Amino acid sequence: MPTAPKNKKKKLETFKVPADEIQQRTRNIQVLLQQHDIDGLFIAQRVDLFYFSGTSQNGFLYIPAEGEPVLFIRQYFPRARTESSIKNMIQIKSIKEIPALLNDIYGRLPAVLGFELDVLPVNDFYFYRSLIQAKKNVDASPSILKLRMNKSDWEIQQMEKTAELSHKTFEYMRKTIRPGLSEMEFATMAETYARKLGYSGRIRARHYQTESYSWHIISGKNSARVGLLDAVASGEGTSAAFPVGAGNKKLKGHEPIMVDMALELNGYHLDETRMFAIDEMPQKARDASEAVIEIHNAVLDKAKPGVAADELFEYSVRIAESKGFAKPYLGTAGHKVTFIGHGIGLEIVEPAFIAKNKKELLEPGMTIALEPKMTLESEFTAGVESVFVVTETGSRLITQIPVEIFTC
């Protein structure tokens, strides 16, 4: 009798940022440093460190306007050596060693030094400034964000892998949603499933007051602003300490359920929203959900290089008006947002933005989460969100989830 074949253990894919990616990023930022008369760039924030070196181990990166960068690692040097292709890598015990090492390597300290002043804590900046003692310290974060805004083909491939993970997670949610689950229970089921596929559980945001997490799963009146206050009073909403995301309300049939899910794989994020309904979507909610899908698709058709961001925003507003949804589009009176899209990549929100009065033109390589939404006060919120990339001639979805209402 033949024996059953033994299950072979699946080999985990080794992830590493290619050396040519790191080299190209270094060359690109050096062009911007030279344009702004900045002698060197001091990188401390972990996401930027990963972007320019390939590792996010405890350390600092110095990029001169000309020449090779140097990576200083405190912990853990063997892993940093494996992960990063930076040739000049030095293990240090203290950051206080850096000025002397810079002087030894480059023959001088920078006269004008750039920092990530949009995220660097003030006390840390004061310390670094007194340590290196450049004649002038400037904000280099606009140059960093400008460079990161346009993704390489390799980066887009990484986001496509995240999109595959997200697609599987949404399909899992479609199959497992049921009445009686609380919003929070359903959210944690989805996150647990995504973690089994490689999601780290970490959503990275650049602003110090932004606490990012994977899920907004909000149903019926819980998703409407005034209704949310009622939900808090009834014990079905979220807590005062963390007043966002999923709450204690039980899911039920014949009501709109908005699932806004952010996931990450190997550092690269996706942010997507779909409307769900158990058994049937009420007609009013279906009409609103179909309207935001129509706006979403129309904006995608119009998005291409050279189109101004505010032109796309105003175009979406006109469509909402033509569909009879001017009042609820983008929020309730007094609380309307002024954007329908944000850049996304190594952080959940990056430049560029599709927003009111944003004159920036779309460029190839921009990856944007497009999210037209509307709130019918005290009733429900309807929305859709997908990630797309601007191509040489137009745009295409990175998102793999069908752009439709999920009736389960």
Q: Are residues 180 and 283 in the same domain?
A: yes
With respect to residue 11, please indicate whether it lies within any of the assigned structural domains: no
Q: Give pLDDT tens digits for 63-92.
A: 999 999 999 999 999 999 999 999 999 999
With respect to residue 3, please indicate whether it lies within any of the assigned structural domains: no
Q: Are residues 155 and 287 in the same domain?
A: yes
Q: Among residues 147, 165, 199, which one ends one of the domains? A: 147
Identify the weakest region by mean pLDDT among 72-76, 102-106, 240-244: 240-244
In this model, does residue 223 exceed pLDDT 80?
no
271, two tokens: 């942010």
Higher pLDDT, 118 or 237: 118
With respect to residue 377, please indicate whether it lies within any of the assigned structural domains: yes
Q: Among residues 120, 147, 174, which one ends one of the domains? A: 147
Q: Are residues 220 and 294 in the same domain?
A: yes
pTM above 0.85, yes or no: yes
With respect to residue 101, please indicate whether it lies within any of the assigned structural domains: yes
* Rounded distance between C-alpha atoms, residue 249 and residue 275, angstroms: 17
Q: Give pLDDT tens digits for 9-48.
A: 455 568 999 999 999 999 999 999 999 999 999 999 999 9
Q: How confident is the model at residue 213 (pLDDT cuts 50, 70, 90)?
A: confident
pLDDT for 240: 75
Q: How confident is the model at residue 145 (pLDDT cuts 50, 70, 90)?
A: very high
Q: Is 104 exposed, middle or buried (0-12, 13-18, 19+ CB in 10 A)?
A: exposed
Identify the weakest region by mean pLDDT among 228-237, 250-259, 391-400: 228-237
Identify the weakest region by mean pLDDT among 71-80, 235-244, 370-379: 235-244
Which residue segment(s) compose the domain that 121 sits in? 19-147
- Is 267 within 8 Å of 296 (Cβ atoms)? no
Q: Are residues 225 and 349 in the same domain?
A: yes
pLDDT for 262: 97
Q: Are residues 171 and 237 in the same domain?
A: yes
Q: Is the peptide bond before 352 cis (omega within 30 degrees of 0)?
A: yes
pLDDT for 227: 42
Q: Degrees (nearest 5) of the Cα angle 314, 404, 364?
A: 50
In this model, does residue 222 exceed pLDDT 80?
no
Identify the weakest region by mean pLDDT among 2-6, 23-27, 92-96: 2-6
Q: Are residues 163 and 121 in the same domain?
A: no
Q: Averaged over 149-167, what is the pLDDT?
A: 98
CATH number where 322 lies: 3.90.230.10
Higher pLDDT, 226 or 293: 293
Q: How confident is the model at residue 235 (pLDDT cuts 50, 70, 90)?
A: low
| DSSP per-residue string spanning 277-327 | ESS---HHHHHHHHHHHHHHHHHHHH--TT-BHHHHHHHHHHHHHHTT-TT
With respect to residue 107, please indicate whether it lies within any of the assigned structural domains: yes
What does pLDDT average to over the chain? Answer: 93
In this model, does residue 51 exceed pLDDT 50?
yes
Identify the weakest region by mean pLDDT among 54-68, 136-150, 232-246, 312-326: 232-246
Query: How much of the chain exceeds pLDDT 70, in percent?
Result: 92
Q: Are residues 164 and 290 in the same domain?
A: yes
C-beta neighbour count of 148 within 10 angstroms = 22
Q: How confident is the model at residue 153 (pLDDT cuts 50, 70, 90)?
A: very high
Q: Are residues 185 and 133 in the same domain?
A: no
Helix residue ranges, H only, 235-279: none
Q: Are residues 116 and 200 in the same domain?
A: no
Q: Are residues 180 and 134 in the same domain?
A: no
Q: How confident is the model at residue 6 (pLDDT cuts 50, 70, 90)?
A: low
Q: How confident is the model at residue 378 (pLDDT cuts 50, 70, 90)?
A: confident
Q: Are residues 191 and 214 in the same domain?
A: yes
Q: Among residues 103, 125, 147, which one ends one of the domains? A: 147
Q: How confident is the model at residue 244 (pLDDT cuts 50, 70, 90)?
A: confident
With respect to residue 259, please indicate whether it lies within any of the assigned structural domains: yes
According to DSSP, the β-strands at 339-343 and 350-355 are antiparallel
Q: Averaged over 151-179, what is the pLDDT?
A: 98
Number of domains comprising the chain = 2
CATH number where 88 lies: 3.40.350.10
Q: Are residues 225 and 359 in the same domain?
A: yes
In this model, does residue 339 exceed pLDDT 60?
yes
With respect to residue 1, please indicate whether it lies within any of the assigned structural domains: no
Q: How confident is the model at residue 5 (pLDDT cuts 50, 70, 90)?
A: very low
* Rounded distance between C-alpha atoms, residue 43 and residue 330, angstroms: 37
With respect to residue 4, please indicate whether it lies within any of the assigned structural domains: no
